[in-house]
Amino acid sequence: MRRSLPFIRIATVGLAATALSVLGPGAAAVPVGNPAHATTPAVVGQQAAADELLVGYVSGAGEAERERARGRAAARLAERVVRGSGARAEVELVRLPAGADRARAVRDLKADPAVAYAEPNWTQTHSAASTDPTFTNGELWGMYGPTTNPANQYGSNAAAAWAAGKTGSTGVYVGVIDEGIQYNHPDLAGQVGNPGELGGKSGVDDDRNGYVDDVYGWDFDRNDNTVYDGGTSGRLDDHGTHVAGTIGAKANSAGVVGVNWNVRMISGKFLGRNGGTTANSIKAIDYFTDLKKLGVNIVATNNSWGGGGKSQAVQDAIERANTAGIVFVAAAGNGGGDGVGDNNDTTPHYPSSYPNNNIVSVAAITKTGTRAAFSNYGATHVDLGAPGADIWSTTAYNGYSSYSGTSMATPHVTGAAALYASVKPGASAAIIKAALLRSAVPTASLSAETVTGGRLDVNAALAQ
């Protein structure tokens, strides 16, 4: 049970303060194509490539059967999104002839016995004590707690965990499925990297995962290893870098600090200049599942994105992550084009509203404890709230910015999952999720609007 991001305010350090209004398409409007806070406006409504479909086949369907099925719709193979192996069935991206009737093509494909489903290729968008200055000057309220210094009773209470010496582990890995990450940012240098490729040979697939030189992750939008495109702040990779900073910016007496001071992150970039596609989101999800199977301790993925309609292919990919023991933390979304949060119980937002047991859906609250006006909610489809308004973190080109959105709330929870795994090594995805939900602090603005009726408390979660 679960759960676009609308309104994003952005104040950028070193640049003129800017206010951006992001219309999240009634789905997690955090980057599935655009960031949750989005640096470019998301398009209202569900959108998909007019001439493309995702086709999932029954287990064991061979090439001859797949070719026969494609022929029913005069479609041609564009790409194998998921390669069939064992229980993992084949998923293809197919291209239709110009002007083809997409709905009819779906019907024709589904009529073939080798086809399990056919669906649109939806467009996704963007939802100890620290001496770091943004923490000490009172601006990093999302890390505070009722008894910390500085204090804010509606913060995540991560600072109380730090005071008890719980600052994370370099043996814990988090996948950031989003835009890219500026991995050499002063607050992130050393925090981002694939252990099977760091220090490896150039041009060699050292970890044998099928991706050559994915040292910091992979760009599924461009199909290369350039997860940070560079450029100026406010362009590409701001959103992904902001998310990463909240999860794991290091404590270095400069800039900001994340929920974890010690953690490792890997970039699964699929949101590009024009958003992202369902097909590429699936590849990113499976990328981390496969890394875990290769021995990388991927505890959770952060998913501050959403948009489009329901996809069986995405739900299946999330279930593969569940089987591998990965928590899928997802933004609940920022409402529709009106900037007002929607009820995900009646208007599902994907991927946060899928029923997979490893999903934790996150709403946004403000520093005064109210549910942010833009944040989606849902008594059965949104699990808990977390700080998501006026959140300072790292941005591309060595910057720092304040963003608002469920995209910003989500990494607080992902960070908490990683911190829990550092204290309780070997904890399953189910145990981590249960600890996060059981420890939620009852909050009036979230009563009857989330599963727990409460907000994140990092320190309390670690005691579970």
Give the residue numbers annotated as catalytic, written as ranges.
Answer: 178, 239, 407
Nearest-CA neighbor of 226 among 234, 235, 217? Answer: 217
Contact, 386 vs 414, CB < 8 A? no
CA atoms in the 13 A half-sphere facing the CB of 265: 41
Helix (H, G, I), strand (E, B) or coil at 184: coil
Helix (H, G, I), strand (E, B) or coil at 93: strand
C-alpha distances out from residue 261 to 10, 147, 292, 382, 439, Å: 24, 20, 22, 28, 22
Compute CA 86 distance to the chain's CA centroid, rounded to the nearest angstrom: 27
Contact, 408 vs 246, CB < 8 A? yes
Q: For residue 71, give the amino acid letter.
A: G
Contact, 345 vs 313, CB < 8 A? no
Q: Give the E-state strand segments of 355-418 in sequence order.
A: 359-365, 384-387, 391-395, 399-403
Peptide bond into 351 cis (omega under 30): yes
C-alpha 56/C-alpha 98 separation (Å) is 22
Contact, 145 vs 152, CB < 8 A? yes
Nearest-CA neighbor of 182 among 399, 416, 36, 418? Answer: 399
Peptide bond into 387 cis (omega under 30): no
- Contacts (Cβ under 8 Å, ≥6 apart) of 111: 72
Q: For residue 133, give the amino acid letter.
A: P
